[in-house]
């Protein structure tokens, strides 16, 4: 995993003396993504920048990597990991290619030389890359199917195409200034912490969408999708479906264990992380490797303050202990102090360059930092709920049939906090509804599907394109800010293609969400772990956190220069959440801690506006 950046300027195809310095400056903004090595490459048409976190062939996989063919140079900068490197290498060797390294970077570059613009269809993994094609005098960019690895870009007023793994890299390019227009404010006030796919929030900034590729040449740029989900009838019996799911999940996890550096798994004791840990631990045992290392996350005094609820029915720690006992992993429990959780809100925003999932981001940042002290690669159970339909909005009628994003059915918690005149002037609610309708309309339909299942397909589409995208953004930025690569086996596209068409009656066999995955795990997990009810990403139940974020917001409002004043209804805040944030039982991006989450989001909003000098 790495960070990439660069710029392309065909209108000034003789280059400029300062281009090397600009490239270096852009790369330095991404040092956290690649602390092991750095490289810049310039040509008359632009520059490519790389910062490397070495995972495969650390000694010889340096980038930018150049290969020559028929007198022309081809140069790549690449952020990601290919899980079918071996199969690609064998195919390419059969076609006459020879390799100097064991790195997947060299295989990817050779694959482009062989397959050209069809290369994306051959790749299995997580990736964002740019290749200079010396023969065609053009650049080729490509992003993985679900957007696990990021890719932002913008055009400056002088005609330069500027790109980077993170937003901060773009603004290191002279002439690109961070600004937010009305649509951007609607994103952060009405939709955030989610973000519309393809939208970079900052004015003029876009995102290469998942499963898309782009060619940038002297005549301009063209973009196209190279992969799509297809809806089709599911012909397998339930028994065959269970077997196929087990095969696909096991294969995805096993392929993602490749690493030349220390690897671990995140283990919550829930179904998803337990399946990954079980497959990985058995693979390690089969290969005679030392015991797999695992990590679980908790918060100071959580055992004291935890109270079961329908949202979080039980605590994780007894189930973690059960898994560690069953698979003999070398386990570490990481406990986040509550003052650190509150203090890291600002830094989590800096990692993402946007306000995010507040304490969920800050806690993950804390945990990833601890893991990165010993490991470079981790596997996580992220995205299984989006793929298999594990959330309550797949079955609760009021959520399933909501005419908006089901994890945020009303905007009350936001409407009560933000300035009503600004809210109305921006048209926040109309914007949210427009984005919802736009996304639903793109759902791949199945002809003849009954209305109830057609609606579930729409909700599944929203989950993959919004909820999952947000979680992947969070996972990438918090982990890579810490110099840690996190892999997500449940995003394997073979698995997603298959599960997409499994009917709900099978996914939720006997009326239980994700039952098909539970049945696929039979004999793999301890029975009580396999049947454990879903529990979300761990949260703090310590009242100190609410006190701290409430004090942070009060401190911000006491500063007359704080930009947050322009966004909020201060009277409503002082009479409401600043008295008691409370658990209002209303959703805040799929969670019920609306008050504390909203306050923490305001802390990040203010820090974001200060960081980028933003006004509304």
Catalytic residues, which ones? Answer: 2
Q: How far apart are CA 396 and CA 485, in angstroms?
A: 36
Q: How far apart are CA 484 and CA 473, in angstroms?
A: 14
Local structure of residue 70 (DSSP, 8 states): T
Instruction: Report whether 108 contacts 92 (CB < 8 A).
Output: no
Q: What are the Cα distances from residue 506, in Å, to 246, 395, 445, 606?
A: 14, 13, 19, 46
The distance between the two most distant Cα atoms of the chain, rounded to a whole number of Å, is 73
* Burial tier of 595 (Cβ tally within 10 Å: 0-12, 13-18, 19+): buried
Q: Which residues of 183-216 are buried (b: 16+ CB within 10 A; e: fewer)?
A: bbbbbbbbbbbbbbbebbbbebbbbbbbbbbbbb
Q: Centre a 10 Å sphere on the Cβ of residue 116 and count the other Cβ atoms it contains.
A: 11
Instruction: Report whether 381 contacts 276 (CB < 8 A).
Output: yes
Q: Centre a 10 Å sphere on the Cβ of residue 399 and count the other Cβ atoms it contains.
A: 16
Q: How far apart are CA 208 and CA 201, in angstroms?
A: 13
Q: Which residues of 53-91 are buried (b: 16+ CB within 10 A; e: fewer)?
A: bbbbebeebbbbbebeeeeeebbbbbbbbbbebeebbeb
Place of tokens 């490797």: 289
Q: Which of 594, 596, 599 is nearest to 584 (CA)?
A: 594
Q: Report strand pairing: 37-43 vs 205-207.
A: unpaired
Q: Which of 30, 195, 154, 185 is nearest to 609 (CA)?
A: 185
SS3 449: coil
End-to-end Cα separation, the chain, in angstroms: 36
Alpha carbon 385 to its chain's center: 14
Question: Token pair for residue 384?
Answer: 């299984």
Give the neighbor-by-neighbor strand order of the sheet with 46-52. Answer: 37-43, 46-52, 2-8, 161-164, 152-155, 205-207
Q: Centre a 10 Å sphere on the Cβ of residue 31 and count the other Cβ atoms it contains.
A: 12
Instruction: Report whether 332 contacts 295 (CB < 8 A).
Output: yes
Q: How far apart are CA 498 and CA 83, in angstroms?
A: 18
Q: How far apart are CA 471 and CA 398, in angstroms?
A: 24
Q: Dihedrals φ, ψ of 369, to 5°?
A: -60, -40
Place of tokens 């999708």: 225
* Burial tier of 565 (Cβ tally within 10 Å: 0-12, 13-18, 19+): middle
Instruction: Report whether 146 contacts 468 (CB < 8 A).
Output: yes
Q: How far apart are CA 240 and CA 190, in angstroms?
A: 43
Give the neighbor-by-neighbor strand order of the sheet with 293-299. Answer: 330-336, 293-299, 263-266, 377-379, 485-487
């Amino acid at each position: 995993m790495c960070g990439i950046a660069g710029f392309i300027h065909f209108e000034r195809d003789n280059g400029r003396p300062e281009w090397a310095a600009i490239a270096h400056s852009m790369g330095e903004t991404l040092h956290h993504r690649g602390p092991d090595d750095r490289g810049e490459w310039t040509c008359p048409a632009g520059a490519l920048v790389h910062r490397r976190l070495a995972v495969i062939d650390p000694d010889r996989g340096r980038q930018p990597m150049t290969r020559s063919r028929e007198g022309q140079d081809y140069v790549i900068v690449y952020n990601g990991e290919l899980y079918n490197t071996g199969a690609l290498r064998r195919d390419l060797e059969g076609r006459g290619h020879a390799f100097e390294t064991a790195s997947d970077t060299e295989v990817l570059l050779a694959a482009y030389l062989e397959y050209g613009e069809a290369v994306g269809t051959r790749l299995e993994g997580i990736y964002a890359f740019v290749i200079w094609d010396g023969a065609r005098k053009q650049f080729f960019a490509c992003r993985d199917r679900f957007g696990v690895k990021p890719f932002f870009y913008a055009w400056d007023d002088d005609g330069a195409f500027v790109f980077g793994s993170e937003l901060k890299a773009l603004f290191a390019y002279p002439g690109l200034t961070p600004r937010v227009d009305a649509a951007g404010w609607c994103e952060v006030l009405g939709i955030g912490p989610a973000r519309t796919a393809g939208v970079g929030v900052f004015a003029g900034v876009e995102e290469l969408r998942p499963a898309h590729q782009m060619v940038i040449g002297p005549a301009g740029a063209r973009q196209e999708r190279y992969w799509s989900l297809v809806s089709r009838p599911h012909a397998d019996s339930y028994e065959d479906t269970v077997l196929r799911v087990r095969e696909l999940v096991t294969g995805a996890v096993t392929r993602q264990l490749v690493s030349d550096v220390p690897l671990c798994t995140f283990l919550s004791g829930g179904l998803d992380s337990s399946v990954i840990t079980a497959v990985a631990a058995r693979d390690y045992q089969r290969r005679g490797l030392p015991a797999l290392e695992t990590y679980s996350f908790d918060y100071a005094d959580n055992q004291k303050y935890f109270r079961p609820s329908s949202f979080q029915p039980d605590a994780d720690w007894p189930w973690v202990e059960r898994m560690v006992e069953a698979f003999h992993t070398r386990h570490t429990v990481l406990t986040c102090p509550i003052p650190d959780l509150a203090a890291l809100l600002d830094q989590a925003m800096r990692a993402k360059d946007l306000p995010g999932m507040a304490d969920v981001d800050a806690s993950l940042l804390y945990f990833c930092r601890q893991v990165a002290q010993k490991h470079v690669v981790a596997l996580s159970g992220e995205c299984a709920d989006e793929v298999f339909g594990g959330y309550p909005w797949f079955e609760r009628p009021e959520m399933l049939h909501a005419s908006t994003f089901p994890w945020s059915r009303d905007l009350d918690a936001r409407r009560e906090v933000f300035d009503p005149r600004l809210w109305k002037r921006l048209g926040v609610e109309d914007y949210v509804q427009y984005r919802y309708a736009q996304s639903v309309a793109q759902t791949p339909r199945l002809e003849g599907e009954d209305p109830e299942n057609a609606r579930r397909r729409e909700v599944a589409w929203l989950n993959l394109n919004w909820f999952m995208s947000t979680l992947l953004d969070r996972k990438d930025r918090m982990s890579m800010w810490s110099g840690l690569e996190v892999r997500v086996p449940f995003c394997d596209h073979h698995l997603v293609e298959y599960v997409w068409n499994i009917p709900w009656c099978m996914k939720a066999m006997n009326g239980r969400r994700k039952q098909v995955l539970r049945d696929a795990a039979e004999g793999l997990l301890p029975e009580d772990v396999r049947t454990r009810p879903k529990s979300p990403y761990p949260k703090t139940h310590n009242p100190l956190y609410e006190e701290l974020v409430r004090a942070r917001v009060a401190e911000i409002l006491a500063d007359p220069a704080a930009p947050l004043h322009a966004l909020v209804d201060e009277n409503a805040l002082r009479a409401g959440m600043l008295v008691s944030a409370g658990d209002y039982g209303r959703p805040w991006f799929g969670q019920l801690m609306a008050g504390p989450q909203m306050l923490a989001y305001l802390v990040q909003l203010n820090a974001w506006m200060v960081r980028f000098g933003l006004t509304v």
